[in-house]
Amino acid sequence: MVFIADYGAGNLRSVKKAFDYLGIKASVSSNPADMAGCQKVVLPGVGAFGQAIDSLDASGFSDAIREHVDRGGHLLGICLGMQLMLTSSEEMGSHRGMDLVPGKVLRFRSETDKIPQIGWNSITMKKDSVLFRSLPDNSFFYFVHSYYCEPESTGDVAAETWFAGKNFCSAIEKNGIFAVQFHPEKSSDAGLQVLRNFAAC
């Protein structure tokens, strides 16, 4: 069973429909207690970091997710869900994240590329990640974001993507913690394979 956290800032319907299409049982709930017994948890996200982390904290999801990870459960963050896993974000002020992956969330700055990044872009795999099994390097995924993650340890980086004059971290794998900056639920066959790989790991 894949648990999809509803904390008021997620693209829940598309994520649930993607798992349904794959024949993978998934549930959506706004009650952190419903996570009990689920080995796989997905933290989707769209919107602003500050409001989202406040919602996670107020709903009890922050503590429940930390406990889930501590007991060896697997976690997948999508887009804003990935950013919320890091230590801090500079989006509209300074905000503290869940600190599951040490690092910071920074805004793209570019004089040549239009921000936010909206559309398809390729990834360069940095290690043999569970998420990208059966996928070729330089696969394309769909991105929508103005901020990017910068983990402290390069060992946590599973993939990078070129945008705004830099290679930024577009995927993370750290023990049972996984995260992608792109939207797998909107990324055709490659995105579905990422969700399939997460559910099977």
CB 44 within 8 A of CB 6: no
Has 183 been annotated as catalytic? yes
79 classed as catalytic: yes
Q: What are phi and psi of 131, to 5 degrees?
A: -60, -30
Active site residue 185: yes
Give the DSSP letter of residue 45: -
Q: Is 77 helix (H, G, I), strand (E, B) or coil?
A: strand
Catalytic residue among 38, 68, 74, 79: 79
Out of 68, 95, 145, 183, the active site residue is 183
Element (H, E) at 169: strand 166-174
- Residues 81, 93: Cα–Cα separation, whole Å: 18
Catalytic residue numbers read 79, 183, 185
